[in-house]
Structure 1
C-alpha cells in the first residue's frame, strides 16, 4: 500500500488512523476512534493497514452552530502549524487555554476533532433534538393533575394540586396512600420543566386578562395605522368627577367622547354629554367639522386657528368593539367616503393616542378640582368621604375647564417621542400636536374629507323602511307627504327613509343616488314631538281600544237580540202590490211630517 497524507487506514483490531504527515521512515498519525494527541509510527507498520472510509459529516445549517464552529476553529488555528513538535504544541495549547479562558483538555478535544475529520464542520456542536420519549405513568398523572387542578380559574396552589393528585390517583378506596407515589419535588420539577407562561396566565386569569394586561406589545401599532393626518381614533370615557345641575342637585358623572388624530395626536373634536351611544357620536362628528375658533367663542375662549386647526372629517376612523360603533347608523358614514376599522377586543394599545388623551386631560384638571366632586383612588374603601356630596360644578362650567385642557393638549403639550424625519428637523417643526398636524397635511397620503353639517347630520340619522299607499308614506306608523310623489301614492312602493327620533315632524326619503328628499307629517297633532312620546301615545291609544273591544262585541250581540225581537212579531202578509209605491210613499210622508219649529216654539212658551 502506498502511504499518502490524509489517508484513513485501519488494522485487523479495528484501530482507525488518519495520516497527518509522511516522512521517509515514519508517519505522523492520529487515532480516529480514541481521543488522544497525534504520534509518530513506523511506515513498516502502516503497510499492514487497509484503506478505510470515515462517515460523512452533515452540513451545519443552524446559525448558532456555525458561529460556535468558527470560534472553536479560531482557538486551535495557531496550534496546527506546530503540531509535529510536541514541545511547541504543548506551549501553544497552554497559551490558547489562557487566551480563551477554557481548559487545556477542551483545547485538545477541539484539536483532535479537527485532525480526525480535517473539516471545520466537526467542531460544530450537536443540536439537541426534541425529546419525544413517551411519558411515564407518573408523568401522565402529574400532567393530568396540573391541567385539572392547577391550570384552572380556581387558582389552586402547586402543593394543593399535588395533594389533590395523590387523593385522586395514589389512594385506595379507603383514602390511604399507596406505598409508591411521586414526591412533591418530582411534581414541582415536572411543573417547571413543562410550564408555559402564556398557558399559565390564560388558564388561571382568563383570556381577557391576558389580552388586556399581559400580552406582549411589540408592534409599532400607531405608525402602521397613520403615515399622515386623516386617521381618527374614537373612544369615550366616564370622567372622574360628579357634577350638579343648575339647581345644585347632583346629576352624576359626564361622558367625554373624543376623536384623536393617530398621526399627530391632535384632538380633532370632542363632546361632553350625559348621554352616550349614537347620540354622542353624532354630536362628536359635528364638533369635528366645526371651526374651532367660532366654537370656542361660544364659551368665552378666544384662540387662533393655528392652535386648533382641524375642521374636516377624518377619512378613516379606528374604533373598538363598543356597541355604538357597531351600529348600522355609524356605518352609514361610509356614504361620505369614510372607512371604518374595528379593532379586536382588548387591544387598547392599538388606539394609544386616544387612550393617552383621556389620561392627560384628566391629569390636567384633577389636581385643581380636589374637593369639588373629583373621585379619588380610595373611593371604594370603607369610611371614605362621599365625593358626590362635594360636587359643585355644572356641566357648562366643567366643559369650559375641559376645553381649556384640550387647547393646552393640542398646542402646548410637548411630544417627546414623535418619530421626526430629516425634513421635519430641517424645518424645525415644533413638538406640539397642532404644529405636527400643520406639517402633516402637506404630506402625501393625507386623508381628510370636506362635509357640510346638514349632509353629515342626515347621514347619521337612523333609517327604516317606509311604504307608499293612498294615505301617504307610512313610516313608524305615521303618515307623511310630498306633493311630487303622486304616482308612488297610487302604485305603492317600499323605500328607505331617514328619521329624527327627537322630532317626528319630518322624514327624508333616500333616493338611489343618495339624495335626501324631505316629507312633512300629515298628522299635525304630533308635530315637534319625539318619536318615543308618539309611540307611547299610540300604545296608550291601542290599550284603550283593546279595553273596549269586549264591550263593543257585547253591544253588537245585544243589537242582534233586539232586532230579532222586533222582526219576530212582524206578520208577513205575503203578496205585495209594487205598482203604487210612489203614491204610498207620498201618503206616508204626509202622515209622518211634523211642524218641528211650531212644536218647539209652542213648547218653549
Structure 2
C-alpha cells in the first residue's frame, strides 16, 4: 500500500519523490529535490511493484518536523502566512487542473494575473507546497535555518529499546524506532556499499545511510551538498550495527567483498581431508610448482647471479611421500612438469647419486605410475598430456584457477621447503620489501643449481621420514603400531591396501610425455618447423621418392632439436630422425630460438616486400619511358623507300656493321690516351684566328670505308 504524502527514494539514482494525490489507478508525484517540480502522473500498480522489488524505498519525510511557533521569527511567520493565503485562496480550488499537465500552464497564468505576479512565482509556491508536505509550515521560507536547532522536539511516538545514555546540552536525545522501512534502508545500503570490492567499513556504510536517507540536500556553488539531520531524527550507529548482525551473511559478505575463490580458499568449512578420496598408495598424486625464495649463482662463475629456480614436486596423497622432484629453470610450464614426471618413474638411488647423495632403495622406494594426477590447469591442459591419458591410462584432474587448497598436501610441502631455505641458505629472500639501507640479499647468493638441488633432496629425504602431524590414522594402523611417517605409510599401504601402483619403461614413458607435433615428408626430407631431418627407415622405404607431401606424427624435445622421434604404431619403440647437414647450424639451439629466427626472417621479408613492390613499379615506369622514347624516335626518323623483303634480307649485314661499330666503342686501351687537338692558324698581321681550318683526318681508315659503303648503299654519292 502507498499513501498520500509518503516519500520514496529510488535505489538507482537516489531521487526522492512525494505522493501528492491518488486517483483510481493513478498517482501524482513530485520530485522533492528539484528547485521547482510539477506533478507527474504514474501508474499505481507500477509504483507498488517498484516498492515490492525494492527499486524504490520508503523513507522518512525529510520535511516532517515539529516546529514551535515561539521559535519562529516575525519575518518567517509573516512570509509563511502570506504564501499560505495564496495557496488557500487561489490554488486549492483549482487543484484538479494544476495536477494535470494539459491546461496547467493556462491555469498558472490566470493565477499569476490575478495576483499580479509572474507565472514562475506561482510555480515556486506550488512546488514548495507539494515538495515539503502540503501543510502550512511547508511555506516557511527556509527549513534549514528554522525549527530551533539544538533544542529538544516533541515527537509523536516514544522511542522503544534501551534509552540513550549520552546527553546533548544536558538533555537525552530519544532517537528513532527501527521500523520495517528503516530495516529496508539498512539492507539496501549493505548490499550497495558493504558487499562490494571497495571494502567500505561499517562506519562508512552508516555514513552513506545518513547521507542518502537522513539529510537535507542543497546546492552550493552548483554542487549538491548534504546536511545531516539532528540526532533525534536519525538511527544511531549502534542501532545499525545491531541490525547488521541480524542481517549478516558471512558467506555472501566474503564472496561479494573479496571473491568466491577467496571464500573457498580461506573461509569455507573444512569437513573432510584429502585422504578420504584415496584407498592406498598410487591412487592420487598431487603435482605443483613454486618459484624458490632464493637466488642462485652460475656453476661456471660464482660471481654471476642468475635468479630464482623453479621447484616441481609430486606427492602421493595417501602416504604424503614425495614421488617426484625437479629443480631447474624450466617453468612453471609443461617442460618443468615433464621433468618432474620423468623423475617420478626414475630410480631414486641413481638419481641421488648424481648429486653425491648415497641412499638405499628402502629410503626412497618410489618409481611408479599413479592412477590419477591432480594438477593445475595450465601445464596439464595441453596436447602433451594425451600420451599419459591414452597410452598410460593415467587420469588427469585439473583444479580451478587460484585454488591451491585443492592440492593442499604439496602446497604445504612448498611452504616448509621455502621456510627452511630462508633459515639456512645464503641469498634467500628475507622480506618482501627492503628498506633504505638494508643489504641486498641477492648479493649473498652462493649456491649453484646442483648444490641447491642437493639441498632440496636432503629436505625431501627428511620429509619422507618425518612424523606427519594430524594424519588421519586408520584403526588398523594404530593396532599395528605404525608411526605416521611417509615411508611407513607407503610401505603399510602397499601391503594392506589395494593401491594403484604400476611401473613402466622410462624411455616409453618419455615417449609419452614429450610434446607431440606434425612433420611433413617431402623430397627435401622430413620437415619439422622448417628444419629438415632424415632417418634410416625413410631411406629404406623411399619416403622421399613419393610425389605427394605426407604429414606424420612426431615427438620432440624442444631443448634438443638435433633429433625428433617417430613413434611406431605399436607404441613400444620409435624411429630416431637426425638433423640434416644443411641445418647443422641450429644443432645447439632450442626450438624456441629456431622458431624465433624463422619468424624474424619472415618479418624482414614482409617489410622488404613492400619496398620490392615500389621498386617494380619504378622499374616498369622507366621501361615504359625508354620504350616510348624509342618509338617516338622511330616515328620521327626519315623512312627509306625500301621494301619489307629488302629490310629482312639486310639483317645479317646490318648486324656485322653494328658489331664492328660496338667493337670500336668497347675496345680496351690500357695506355694513357693523349687527345690530339687541331692547331690554330693565326694571322700575325690581324692577330686573329684564321677561319680556315684544315680537314680532320680519320683515326681509322676502316671506319671511313664503312661510312663510304653505307653512303653508297643509300645513294648519297649518286
**Which range, TM-score by smaller chain?**
0.5 to 0.7
- In 2, are the aligned partners of 1:229 and 1:437 still within 8 Å (CA)? no
**Superposed counterparts of 1:144-293, under 5 Å:** 144-174=188-218, 175-177=226-228, 180-245=233-298, 246-276=301-331, 277-293=333-349
1:394 equivalent in structure 2: 448
Tell me if 1:328 matches 2:383: yes
Counterpart of 2:412 in 1: which secondary structure? helix
Q: Give yes or no for contact 1:319–1:340 (8 Å, CA) kept in 2.
A: yes
Q: Check conservation: 1:211, 1:346, Cα contact below 8 A.
A: no
Structure 1 residue 200: Cα displacement: 2.4
Superposition map of 1:59-98 within 5 A: none
Report deviation, 1:258: 0.6
**CA apart distance, 1:195:** 0.9
1:537 matched to 2:597: yes
SS of 2:313's equivalent?
strand
Partner of 1:440: 493
Q: Secondary structure at the match of 2:561?
A: coil
Decide which of 538, 549, 558 is 2:612's aligned counterpart.
549
Q: Which of the residues 142, 145, 154 maps onto 2:186?
A: 142
1:490 positional shift = 2.3
Alpha-carbon distance between aligned partners in 1 of 2:184 and 2:549, rounded to the nearest angstrom: 73
Q: 1:420 to 1:488 in 2, by over 3 A?
A: farther
Q: Distance in 2 between matches of 1:422 and 1:142?
A: 53
Matches of 2:627 and 2:556 in 1, distance apart? 51
User: Equivalent of 1:406, from 442, 460, 472?
Assistant: 460
Change (3 A) 1:384 1:212: farther
**2:430 aligned with 1:376, yes or no?**
yes
How far is the alpha carbon of 1:145 from its aligned partner? 1.2
CA contact (8 A) 1:463 1:498 kept: yes
TM-fit CA distance, 1:271 = 1.0
Q: Is the 8 A contact 1:510 1:517 kept in 2?
A: yes
Pairwise CA distance, 1:306: 0.2
d(CA) in 2 for partners of 1:222 and 1:424?
A: 14
After superposition, the Cα gap between the structure-2 partners of 1:378 and 1:286, relative to the gap in structure 1 and judged at 3 Å, is closer
Distance 1:524 1:414, change over 3 A: same
Determine if contact 2:586/2:594 at 8 Å carries over to the other structure. Answer: no
Deviation at 1:557, TM superposition (A): 6.0
Report what 2:88 is aligned to: none
Structure 1 residues 438 and 565: CA distance shift in structure 2, 3 A: farther
Residue 556 of structure 1: how far off its partner (Å): 6.5
Q: Does 1:524 align with 2:583?
A: yes
Query: 1:149: Cα distance to partner?
Result: 2.1
Deviation at residue 142 of structure 1 after TM alignment? 1.5
Report the alpha carbon displacement of residue 310 of structure 1 after superposing the two structures with TM.
0.7
Q: Within 2, Cα distance between the matches of 1:536 and 1:575?
A: 65
What's 1:69 paired with?
A: none
1:354 aligned partner:
410
> How far did 1:234 drift?
0.6
**Contact 2:287-2:314 at 8 Å conserved across structures:** yes
TM-score, normalised on structure 1?
A: 0.65
RMSD of aligned residue pairs (Cα, Å): 3.8
Matched residue SS, 1:505: strand
Change in 2 beyond 3 A, CA 1:541/1:166: closer
> CA 1:430–1:158 in structure 2 vs 1: closer, same or farther (change >3 Å)?
closer
Distance 1:358 1:382 in 2: 30
Aligned to 2:554: 497
Which residue of the partner structure matches residue 512 of structure 2?
459
Distance change (3 Å), C-alpha of 1:148 and 1:274: same
Q: How does 1:462-477 map to 2 (within 5 A)?
A: 462-477=515-530
Distance in 1 separating the partners of 2:295 and 2:622 = 64
Matched, 1:385 2:446: no
- TM-aligned CA deviation for residue 233 of structure 1: 0.8
SS at match of 1:449: coil
Preserved contact between residue 286 and residue 410 of structure 2 (Cα < 8 Å): yes
Segment of structure 1 superposing worse, 306-315 or 560-569: 560-569
CA distance in structure 2 between the partners assigned to 1:231 and 1:457 by the alignment: 20
Match in the other structure for 1:75: none
Partners of 2:542 and 2:576 lie apart in 1 by 11
Residue 446 of structure 1 aligns to a residue whose secondary structure is coil
Give 1:477 shift: 3.0
Is the Cα–Cα contact under 8 Å of residues 260 and 354 in structure 1 kept in the other structure? Answer: yes
How far did residue 475 of structure 1 move? 2.9
> In the TM superposition, what is the alpha-carbon distance from 1:385 to its structure 2 partner?
3.0
Provide the C-alpha distance between the structure 2 equivalents of 1:561 and 1:469, rounded to a whole number of angstroms: 46
CA shift for structure 1 position 520: 4.1
Secondary structure of the corresponding residue to residue 301 of structure 1: coil
Q: 1:194 to 1:549 in 2, by over 3 A?
A: same
Between 1:275-284 and 1:153-162, the stretch displaced more is 153-162
Matches of 1:442 and 1:244, distance apart in 2: 45
Write the deviation string for residues 203-233 of structure 1: whole angstroms up to 9, x where unpaired.
Answer: 3333333222222221122332453334211
Per-residue deviation at 1:176?
4.2
Q: Deviations over 1:310-332 (max 9, x none)?
A: 112333211133x2233332454
- Are the equivalent residues in 2 in contact too, given 1:142–1:165 (CA < 8 A)? yes
In 2, distance between residues paired with 1:219 and 1:485?
A: 62
C-alpha separation in 2, matches of 1:249 and 1:505: 29
Contact 1:232 1:261 in 2 (8 A): yes
Q: Any gaps of 5 or more consecutive residues in structure 2?
A: 1-178, 219-225, 661-666, 672-718
Provide closer, same or farther for how the CA distance between residues 476 and 524 of structure 1 changes in structure 2, counting only shifts above 3 A: closer
Q: What is the Cα deviation at residue 469 of structure 1?
A: 4.5
Which residue of 340, 343, 352 corresponds with 2:399? Answer: 343
Q: Is the 8 A contact 1:309 1:438 kept in 2?
A: no
Check 1:397–1:177 CA distance in 2 against 1; reply closer, same or farther (3 A cut): closer
Structure 1 segments unaligned to the other structure (5+ residues) = 1-134, 593-598
Aligned to 1:86: none
- Verify the 8 A CA contact 1:526 1:534 in the aligned structure 2: no
Displacement after TM superposition at 1:341 (Å) = 0.8
| Secondary structure of 1:317 counterpart | strand
Q: How many residues align?
A: 453
Deviation at 1:510, TM superposition (A): 5.1
The CA distance in 2 between the partners of 1:543 and 1:331, in whole Å, is 34
Matched-pair contact (CA < 8 Å) for 1:229–1:264: no
Where in structure 2 are the equivalents of 1:298-313 lying within 5 Å? 298-313=354-369
CA displacement at 1:260 relative to structure 2: 0.9
